[in-house]
Structure 1
Amino acid sequence: MNRCAIILPYYGKFPNYFQLFLNSCAVNSDFDWLIFTDDRTEYDYPVNVHVQYETFADMQARVRDAFDFRPVIEQPYKLCDLRPMYGYVFKDYLADYEFWGHCDCDLVFGDLSRFITDDLLNAYDKIFPVGHLALYRNTEENNRRFMLDLDGRPIYREVLESSRGYTFDESYLSTNINRIYQTYGFPIYMRDHSGNTVAKSETFRITRYDAELGTFLSEPAMRAVYVWEHGHITRSFMRLGTFMQQELMYMHFQRRDMRVACPMQSDRYQILPGSFEPLQVEHVTKENFRSIPWKNTADMWRHRVNIGRGEYKFWKSRIAGVINARMNKG
């Protein structure tokens, strides 16, 4: 049994590159994944990924049974706010683990153990400030800390009794679990090692949370070649005339369609904005770096259109919500 279980409830169709997600879990043998889903598509699930098929109604009932009031969990997206509560809600599945965590499925992992070390696990009760991957020490006390007051009020009840999003799982709005840990002085590791891509950018730009500034900082656009190879993600780029390579813990493709143009069981492939492609060279070097394609114009246009559609749907929904609220007030 591994030391840490990462919990992923997901209802609906998994992304088209979900097998690549699973392959990246397989090479991280020091971690287990517990997936709860209604997607019965046949995937090649690794031995460290455990699947329980269930409906969203089952998840709603699980949450209701965990609390002595009635939570409002109307849509699967609301589960983002519940992530810091998974140790409490899923406690029956976690007895054999020292840590539990949560993650998204629109990502591909690199070598987690290179970043999540024993020293880190021994020192902190919560690790990472973002929602797409965070870990918690699996103790009864730690699993109930989300219930502590924040700014003088039980914020978790507000989160559970409202259908709106609070980003309770990460440092975005002020209503988040990290502030509870910081307010009470609990040991929390706030450095962001993710390869979180800017959703609206046509090319890959990494954005990370800066704990000292209390905000997300996005790097400028740059030519870079991203490669997944045998469980490692490497980014190659030029900086001030020097060829550099950087290993990433994982890449997060939020709100980005990704074509799969490589075999699903590839042990290495290039990651471009919009696609997973066969790597055309044996190794990325200073000599061949500029000959390797790093973006695709068709994918860039497709992403621009999709983002525009998403923005339209978002504001249409917001405006409809405001109108309905005012009509209900009479």
Structure 2
Amino acid sequence: MKKKVAIFIPYFGNSFPEYFKLWMQSANYNNFIDFYIITNIYTQKARIGNITFINCSWESFKSFVQSKFDFKISLEDPYKLCDLKPMYGYLFKKIIGDNYLYWGHSDLDLIFGNLKLFCEEGIKKGFSKIGIYGHFSLYKNNSEMNFLFKKNTIGFDGLNYKDVLKSNIPFYFDEIQGVGIRCYQNKINIITSEDYIADLDQKYSFFRRVGKKEALIFKWTNGKLYGITSKGQKEEFAYVHFQKRKLHNKYVKNKRKSFYILPNRISIVNNYDFNKFTLFYYINNRIHYYNKMHNINKSIDYLSRRKKVTTDNYCQIHQLYNLKSWTSK
């Protein structure tokens, strides 16, 4: 019997995030998914529940990717991995085979709640793609989606996968300007599931979802994730994405039934005074170094590399994502 989802996470560096054990705990609760972490970091166990570690040096991984293409690729920095994400169905086909209905990619700067909130409807209805962001997306395991990255785009001057792989510059091929355009032009059925995502805005030192005004803290309990406002209102999410924010984790080292996620740390706290935590957002947290200028500079950098991309059609691409789902006609 096929398992539903395989998620691949190549991760290379000196250490995992400080809260990685909690990431694993949150992943273990989603046992309909198999997570494969390809990494140079030593782990005592090759498998922990539904998480499999594949030990691999950065140089070996680069050689593996190069062996899949008949032209010279440039892969000098692990951050370039964002451009490989839509290619995982092709790169890891030996693992995926016919064993999974969907494959996908994720990052480690997340904590999961109940991921069925995010993907159950899409799986049941047979959507070809579930999610639109590079930090977490699923693709149906079929030839159309496994080789979607190879399709050329029309009109938008979208990125060609060969140009992307030949350059060491990250083109964010896993998002709008890469796989997003291809999905739109090939009328791929997509469900965004954005209502269940807590994607935190980089411009603020406190927790605020992109496009939302309410500040939040988060509580994880027995596999479920809740956003809590300063008024005590709760909303369940499938996952929270920290956008590379560094969170300290001094106290929650082992598995726990419940913990809180604050703007600068993971904590165990009972009986919150939410009025005090309104002040906490502004006074007691560390300033997050990713700010609005980072996003502006990133956009300018991309547009300068792609001189033919005009302001009008770049905005048009973004507008495509305002829909909650795309359905082929």
Q: Give the TM-score range, shorter chain.
A: 0.7 to 0.9
Matching of residue 249 in structure 1 with residue 252 in structure 2: no
Output the TM-score relative to the length of structure 2: 0.80
Q: 1:279: how far off?
A: 2.7
CA deviations on 1:21-42 (whole Å, 9 max, x unpaired) are 0000111111110110001154
CA distance, structure 2, for counterparts of residue 161 and residue 200 of structure 1: 32
Alignment match, 1:215: none
User: Percent same amino acid at aligned positions?
Assistant: 28
Distance 1:142 1:255, change over 3 A: closer
Render the CA deviation track for 1:192-229: whole Å, top value 9, x for unaligned: 2321111231100111xxxxxxxxxx222x34331010
Matches within 5 A, 1:1-330: 2-12=3-13, 13-42=15-44, 46-95=48-97, 96-151=99-154, 155-171=160-176, 175-192=177-194, 193-207=196-210, 218-220=211-213, 222-237=214-229, 244-264=233-253, 265-281=255-271, 289-290=274-275, 295=280, 300=285, 302-304=286-288, 306-307=289-290
Q: Is the 8 A contact 2:46 2:52 kept in 1?
A: no
Q: Which amino acid aligns with 1:184?
A: N
Q: Which moved more, 1:78-87 or 1:247-256?
A: 247-256
- Distance of 2:62 and 2:124 partners within structure 1: 31
Shift of 1:121: 4.6
C-alpha distance in 1 between matches for 2:249 and 2:150 = 42
Task: State the Cα distance separating 1:261 from its structure 2 match.
Answer: 3.7
SS at match of 2:71: coil
Partner of 1:212: none
CA contact (8 A) 2:118 2:193 kept: no
Q: Residue 99 of structure 1: SS of its match in structure 2?
A: strand
CA displacement at 1:61 relative to structure 2: 1.1
Secondary structure of 1:87 counterpart:
helix
Deviation at 1:191, TM superposition (A): 4.0
Deviation for aligned residue 1:140: 2.4
Contact 1:23–1:46, Cα closer than 8 Å, also in 2: no
Change beyond 3 A, Cα 1:293–1:279: farther
Distance 1:294 1:11, change over 3 A: farther
Match of 1:214 in 2: none
Give the AA of the match of 1:64.
Q
TM normalised by structure 1 equals 0.80
Cα 1:119–1:141, aligned 2, differ >3 Å: closer, same or farther?
closer
Amino acid at match of 1:53: N
1:65 is displaced (CA, Å) by 1.0
Decide whether aligned partners of structure 1 residues 119 and 126 sit closer, same or farther in structure 2, where only a CA change above 3 A counts: closer
Aligned partner letter, 2:233: M
Cα shift readout 1:218-275 (whole Å, capped 9, x = no counterpart):
222x343310101111112267xxx632101111112311111432212111110010
Cα displacement (A) at 1:100: 0.5
Q: Please, what is the CA RMSD of the aligned residues? A: 2.7
**Quick one: distance in 1 between partners of 2:146 and 2:6?**
14
After TM superposition, give the deviation of residue 80 of structure 1 in Å.
0.4
Which amino acid letter does the alignment assign opposite residue 150 of structure 1?
T
CA contact (8 A) 1:31 1:48 kept: yes
Q: Return the alpha-carbon distance in structure 2 between the equivalents of residues 108 and 43 of structure 1.
A: 21
SS of alignment partner, residue 66 of structure 1: coil
Specify every segment of 5 or more residues in structure 2 that has no aligned partner in the other structure, as ranges: 306-329
- Deviating beyond 3 angstroms after TM superposition, the runs of 4 or more aligned structure 1 residues are 41-45, 118-122, 288-299
Residues 130 and 192 in structure 2, CA contact (< 8 A), matched pair in contact too: yes
Q: Which gives a bigger RCO, structure 1 or 2 (Cα 8 Å, sep 6+)?
A: 2
Where structure 1 has 5 or more consecutive residues not aligned to the other structure, the ranges are 208-217, 323-330
Q: 1:249 to 1:74 in 2, by over 3 A?
A: same
Pair 1:84–1:107, CA change in 2 (3 A): same
